[in-house]
Amino acid sequence: MPIGSGIRKSKFKIILTSATHQRLFGIYIGPITISNPYHSLKNSKYMKYIFHILFFLSLSMSALAQEPTDAPVTSISGIIEELLNQLTIEKGEQMDTTAIRNLFHPSAIFTVADADMAETISLDDFLILLKDPYYEEGYTEKEIHKVVDHYNGIAQVFQSFYGKDSEGMEEKGINSYQLTYYKGRWWIVSLLWAVTPKGEELPSQYQGN
């Protein structure tokens, strides 16, 4: 995870503020007023016209309700790769927090751990951290290796990573994901990560050699 995420115990900022994100989407179709309905209903052509309008509107509403599923979230590797792609940005760019949010279950939690403590924040707080100007200077995170276990719509992934910020700070560590599958796609429900202590190497099974 981002070495500048704010709750990691290395050189990076800590900016923890809470916010409420409301996402509202509504469709309003105004009332259809038919003057003199008695005569209108007697007219079979008019009835067919009304039927076609209502049928078209029902199809339109159905199409709007069924949003297409993005390809990256239909596989475990795809959704994790997409997350790293979104977190990796060039100088002057900004994190696409809407795209990142789409990868996670709304109740997802994020935890950073070391030998002394573990600290957890919500999805909203995590996205706030990613909006910090610190990231506009550029950030890179790449996968080194991953081990995937899954059964009956649940999965866990151990992913070793390499991260580098704009000031040349480099770190390696492990991202631990928990995921669930429903509605035709995968959702990340938990993300726990730890940074490799200075002077130590990643365990051999996560080196990817």
Give the domain extent around 151. Answer: 72-196
Q: Where is pLDDT greater, at 162 or 64? A: 162
- 13-22, 128-137, 142-151: range with lowest mean pLDDT: 13-22
198 pLDDT above the threshold of 80: yes
| Banded model confidence at residue 29, pLDDT cuts 50, 70, 90 | very low
Residue 48 placed within a domain = no
Residue 65 placed within a domain = no
Measuring CA to CA, which residue among 140, 153, 158 is closest to residue 208?
A: 158
| pLDDT mean over 43-69 | 47
| pLDDT mean over 82-95 | 92
Residue 159 placed within a domain = yes
CATH code assigned at 104: 3.10.450.50
Task: Return the percentage of the chain with pLDDT > 90, whole number.
Answer: 50
The predicted structure's pLDDT at residue 26: 29
- 47-56, 128-137, 145-154: range with lowest mean pLDDT: 47-56
Count of domains forming the chain: 1
The predicted structure's pLDDT at residue 36: 41
The predicted structure's pLDDT at residue 122: 96
Mean pLDDT for all residues in the chain: 76
The predicted structure's pLDDT at residue 180: 98
Residue 156 placed within a domain = yes
What is the C-alpha to C-alpha distance for residues 88 and 154, in angstroms, rounded to an integer?
Answer: 27
The predicted structure's pLDDT at residue 58: 47
Given a contact cutoff of 8 angstroms between Cβ atoms, the answer to whether 3 and 10 are in contact is yes
Q: Judge if pTM exceeds 0.75.
A: no
The predicted structure's pLDDT at residue 38: 38
Residue 112 placed within a domain = yes
4 pLDDT above the threshold of 90: no
